[in-house]
Structure 1
Amino acid sequence: MTSEHPNPPHGETVRDAWVARADALLDAARRHATPGAGRIYFPGAEGGYGHAVDGLEGFARTFLLAGFRIAGARGEGVDQIIAHYSRGIVSGVDPEAPDRWVRMEEHAQAKVEAASIALVLDLTRPWIWDRLDALTQQRVVDYLAPVVGDDTYPQTNWVWFRIVVQTFLRSVGGPWSADDIAADLARHDSFVREGGWLSDGDERSYDHYVGWALHVYPILWARMTGAADLAGDRNDADVARLDAFLHDALALVGGDGSPLIQGRSLIYRFAAAAPFWAGVIADVPSHSPGRLRHAADRIVTHFAERGAPDADGILTMGWHGAWRELAQSYSGPGSPYWAVKGFLGLLLPADHPVWTAPAEPLPIEQGDVLRAIVSPGWIVSGTTADGIVRVVNHGTDHALPGARTTDSPLYARLGYSTATSPIADERGWLEPLEQSVALVDRYGRATHRTAMTLRDVRVPGGAEGHVGIAASTWDAHLVDPAPTAHRHGSGLAGETLSVGTITTTSIVRASSEVRIVVVDALAPGQDAATLRLRLGGWPLSGDEVVGGTDDTGAWVSSRGSSSGIRALLPAGVAGLVSRADADPLGVRTLVPVIEHEVRVGEPVVALLDLAGGEHSAPHAAVDIDGATVTVTWPDGARTVSRLIDSEPPAPALRHHEVRRGISHAIAKEQHA
């Protein structure tokens, strides 16, 4: 597979290339189906929910892709796909079949997969549902019916699984509950946040689920048979939110097509393309079909060119290749096939104008990107020269406000990018290292920042050279985690101990960030002499990773990228920390770090950088005069940022002083 080409060779159309990709995935899936076709067992170790659930996932998730193909082809030329999955449905709902589907009463995961089955039965109604015999149709209804009145659905994106199933049941004369659907829609509405974003539940859960679930399902549901009267007064708002979200989603795609490596369920890979196709289907007003299709193509192609699917046509549990620890504890070999949501555009027939619309570039392909996303508390900085999109995170942790857990490496780090992965092995869940600010005790235990308070996030000006500013304050706490069988993205709960309070401000420009850290206070009984303040930089991974240090800084190079950190105020001790098989991007990871003595109330300032190429730790100059921060950046540009104290005005501070408890927020910024 290759990148989208404005004039595909050999007379191939853009859509033909997508069809070929989809059919290769479906061909591989059929090779691993049971004789009755009711389950599909992909190679690999059994998942955390057991063998039967693995087989159901294999069927239901690839059935999504089959449905897109069948509906987009209007049932023509897809007879083999129709026959195979029709046969699987007959077996799946036959209580005596050896490959029958796990029922919802037997395992809750069936509730997830039932939604895919119901959605596709609606999409392919003339070619599958209408041709099923009456007994099988009744068995399908009986299989889906337990969703009605079931109040055990998690109050997250799962509410859409019940909405979709009940809408299908309603359309075929089965049982359904208007009260259930109303309650689920109200719950969805409670997830709505500023700027078209949604949080996946009450926790501060901002990740790819915003796009591939919370935006995609409303668009598809509104088009289901019998949904018009239920969705009629909601559709405009859903489309408007999607339209707003896409401004940010487009800016988060790297120049190489990589999605942001952040959040749970990353093994779904190119499902990240789904909201762009949803935008085409919904005919959003602000984004052209050519740009949305191009974004989807860049994402799918990114993975295809890096081993996903693999040489056997299989999507493994991993990012590019297989890396099991990236999956959730419950995931099985069929789980990665939610990736096929990225092929949602195949619902659109060959005569849809999206397939002939000129491809338009991503934001990162047009120029450098600098934007604030308020809801997750992110500053986004993308640089065209290397194609890397970076996120500096001061508001997302997959936790409730006030929660004290370990930091989830997938959510609570201070930075994520399209070129780096958080350390996500077992140790990564226990010890913040990369992209962290932590107090480290005499035993080497590092504090966590879950339940940070977002203080500010903004880009004060749009002219070239302007900066993004974000800040947060948190209770730096140690955690002795309790054992747990399953992990769903949040940090680990356990016994906690407060060590102190930390406020961190990020001033971001291009590939660089000036990070200002103040230990506001230590908890009673804590001794500064027994603690160290550690700042971790961007991690880089690969088969060959090199790094070095000097008196004030450390740097790492791998796969054509470089990461550096340098102490600016005061002097610190630079170092490199190595991890083996710690993330999906390589066998070795190096993290540049700086350590400082703990001095309560005094600012510690470091420069962090992530860029293409190979170079040593970057240099910059910072001057703090009261609440004014002047930065001379590595390229010589100079910015002046005014930091506002959230408390009543205090007398002017001496050079390099910052009062304890300060909340940094930008009031004025200029470029000189």
Structure 2
Amino acid sequence: MIYDPASSNPLAGNPLANRADMRHALTDLFDPLLPYFSEGNARVRIDGAGAHFDRAAADLEGFARPLWGLAPLGAGGGDFRHWARYAEGLANGVDPKHPEYWGTVNGRDQRMVELAALGFALALVPEKIWEPLDQRARDNLITYLKHARTFDYADNNWKFFRIFVDIALDRLGASFDRSLTERYLNELDGFYIADGWYRDGDVRRIDHYIPFAMHFYGLIYSKLVNDDRSERYRERAMLFARDFRHWFASDGATIPFGRSLTYRFACAGFWSALAFADVEALPWGEIKGLCLRHLRWWADKPIAHRDGTLPIGFAYPNLLMSENYNSAGSPYWAFKAFLPLALPETHPFWMAEEKSLENEPAIIPQRHPGMVLMRSKADVAALSSGQENQQMRFGAEKYSKFAYSARYGFSVESDERIFAGAAFDSMLAFSDDGLHYRVRETNEEAKLAGDTLYAKWLPYPDVTVETWLVPAAPWHIRLHRITTPRPLQTAEGGFAIARRDLEADTLVSIADAAYVIGEEDFSGILDLGSTIKRQGIAQKAPPNTNLIASKTLVPQLRGTIPAGETTLVSAVLAEKDTSTVDHAWTKPPARPDIDALRALVQNKGITVSAIEAPGRLP
């Protein structure tokens, strides 16, 4: 190839095995931003793509987010040659008379988000960005921070942002209304469920914001502030670690699930924050392994532009999967992974030998997020029911699929009018005109009974679906009981795998089954005795829909259901082993008894925690 997209990845070739490697990774990721600093150093604008907030706030985002990694680097004695640039930019950004002024906070504002990074840096390395300022710049900065904190913040993890501003104000000796700090700390406690799990507000979703926001900020707080709440944050993090470790595959990949996945290796931020806060929630070797293996997973992915900057996307540049609050600077929340750089080389996190997780069970039910995790040699997949997000773009794909995989990710659709050509990986879609379609967006009920998930949902107001998800490793089974007053076309997909050029893959479509074989992977879906006949389809999904592979193949089952009651039963299998077609594929699981599943849920089912929130707008 003339150009290998992965070669411009700043992490490429870095062994990421120790503190020196992590320091190099951080500076290698930061240096490509230097040409995009403004003349007065207060703004960083990488490209012209827009977010829902104004350009000044987006430019502040590009300036501030790297500080989540740069501040720990400075605190740990690492070499960084551009602190003067940050001090100058900070002074100009808060100066109303300077042309690069960030703009005044006025109501709920993206600037509130980015000021948390500034608060963190001011608390951690004041000698780098506070002490160099003259008195006028210091006064402007204090005024700017105090003004911002007078407004109400969003009713979710945003409440931590004012707390971080307040920590900085306290460290800098400023006077402010501390009752506002206490109020937000109490309200954040109201989002706590149990067993280390939070909600990100009063909503029906429990995603990566729990580790890389709620716990991340709580653990930093516990390090910077000495009070009773700090101990509670540490205790909750220790509980959460026991569950969250199961979201990571042996190669370091984590399950992509939910929104804001363009923050990429921020998903390691929880493990980094445990180290920063000196919380040995798991043996240090396991925490170190979870953190560094995750960083290494990204090193061979085409996650950067040719100049080394990080675009919006996940494993490759992809605006399609973005949120409306993603600007060009958004991906640099990934720097949350670099908190351990604040630690001395003698810290047990750095001294420990990396360890893989030991004695991991193959099936792990998790009531709070409404998941049943299935671990295998090369993957960890989560069967899922009970979550929703009806406010964000592609919320159904990000929260309401039947399964999510660390290896195969998930896909967002590119056109709501191509029922015949859509991906529908790990979804059941309905169409009444062969053009438009409906999928699961939310649930009326969601229960966990042992390792079986149950959900009741309505794709149309007059159509009811009951779904049972059952692990049958290496397969999983989906049973749907559908009641509809009219005929509907249906399509149900398995996992999406990478598609090669030059038609090099194997695509098999037969009655009641379909499978695809790529360079390394097998994916198939098999009908287990539905009350209608379905045809297998090896779907070439639209490009740039999957988060991990830019072109994918998805095995599907398609058929028309009549008015009345229909039962669809599928078995789904995907493995990193092309010989699966001759082995596991030939030994499908037995069709479950629907009456037995109903009795199981009725007698032993407990409501999934995620659905217990009202699900109001944040």
TM-score, normalised by the number of residues in structure 2: 0.87
Distance 1:507 1:424 in 2: 24
1:375 aligned to which of 365, 368, 374: 368
| Cα RMSD after superposing both structures | 2.9
Matched residues, number: 583
State the Cα deviation string for residues 434-490 of structure 1 (Å, max 9, x = none).
Answer: 2122433244433332331454325x4xxxxxxx3111111222xxxxxxxxxxxxx
Pairing 1:182–2:139 present: no
Alpha-carbon separation, structure 2, partners of 1:663 and 1:606: 22
The reply on whether 1:447 has 2:438 as its aligned counterpart is yes
- Partner Cα separation in structure 1 for residue 596 and residue 380 of structure 2: 28
Task: Trace 1:123-272 onto structure 2 (pairs within 5 A).
Answer: 123-151=124-152, 153-224=153-224, 227-228=225-226, 232-272=227-267
Contact 1:149 1:177 (C-alpha < 8 Å) held by counterparts: no
> Are 2:583 and 1:646 aligned?
no
For the 8 Å contact 2:400–2:440, the answer to whether it is kept is yes
Residues 32-43 of structure 1 mapped to structure 2, 5 A cutoff: 32-43=36-47
Alignment match, 2:480:
517
Higher helix share: 2
Amino acid at match of 2:373: V
* 1:500 match: 463
Secondary structure in 2 aligned to 1:176? Answer: coil
d(CA) in 2 for partners of 1:372, 1:34: 50
Query: Does the 8 Å contact 1:470/1:507 carry over to 2?
Result: yes
Matched, 1:539 2:540: no
Residue 186 of structure 1: CA displacement? 2.4
Q: Structure 2: which amino acid aligns with 1:603?
A: T
**Separation in 1, partners of 2:385, 2:594:** 23
| Cα distance between partner residues in 1 of 2:371 and 2:116 | 32
Displacement of 1:139 after TM fit? 0.8
- Residue of structure 2 equivalent to 1:276: 271
Q: Show the 5 A alignment for 1:307-456.
A: 307-362=302-357, 369-384=362-377, 387-398=378-389, 408-427=396-415, 433-456=424-447
Greater percentage in strand = 1
Shift, 1:270, TM fit: 0.2
Of 620, 623, 627, 2:588 maps to 620
Q: Are residue 585 (structure 1) and residue 548 (structure 2) matched?
A: yes
Whether the 8 Å contact between 1:317 and 1:324 is mirrored in structure 2 is yes
Cα displacement (A) at 1:146: 1.7
Distance apart, 1:165 and its partner CA: 1.0
1:383 CA drift (Å): 0.3
- Helix, strand or coil at the partner of 2:554: strand
1:574 and 2:569 correspond = no
Cα deviation, residue 599, structure 1: 6.9
Does the 8 A contact of 1:36 with 1:88 survive in 2? yes
* Cα distance, 1:328–1:625 mapped onto 2, change above 3 Å: closer
The one-letter code matched in structure 1 to 2:142 is: V
Task: Specify the alignment match of 2:61 in structure 1.
Answer: 57
Query: Quick one: percent identity of the two aligned structures?
Result: 24
Distance in structure 1 (CA, Å) of the matches to 2:571 and 2:239: 32
Q: Deviations over 1:309-358 (max 9, x none)?
A: 44422111111221111221232211110110011111212232211211
- Which sits farther off after the overlay, 503-512 or 43-52? 43-52
SS of structure 2 residue aligned to 1:574: strand
CA separation of 1:593 and 1:121: change in aligned 2, threshold 3 A? same
Distance 1:430 1:205 in 2: 28
Q: Partner letter of residue 268 of structure 2?
A: A
Q: Structure 1 CA distance, aligned partners of 2:31 and 2:594?
A: 65
Match of 2:76 in 1: 72
For the residues of structure 2 that align with 1:645 and 1:273, how far apart are their CA atoms?
35
* 3-state SS, counterpart of residue 350 of structure 1: coil
Measured against aligned partners, the alpha-carbon deviations of 1:376-399 in whole angstroms (never above 9, x if no partner) come to: 100111101xx1110111111125
Match status 1:610 vs 2:574: yes
Contact 2:475 / 2:589 at 8 angstroms: preserved in 1? no
For structure 1, the residue ranges without an aligned partner over 5 or more in a row are 461-467, 478-497, 630-641, 648-661, 666-672
Q: Which runs of 5 or more structure 2 residues have no equivalent in the other structure?
A: 1-10, 608-618
Q: Which amino acid aligns with 2:56?
A: A
- Three-state SS of the structure 1 residue aligned to 2:415 is helix
Q: Give the counterpart of 2:23 among 14, 19, 27.
A: 19
Query: SS of the residue aligned with 1:569?
Result: coil
Judged with a 3 Å threshold, the aligned counterparts in structure 2 of structure 1 residues 176 and 560 are, in CA distance, closer, same or farther, namely farther
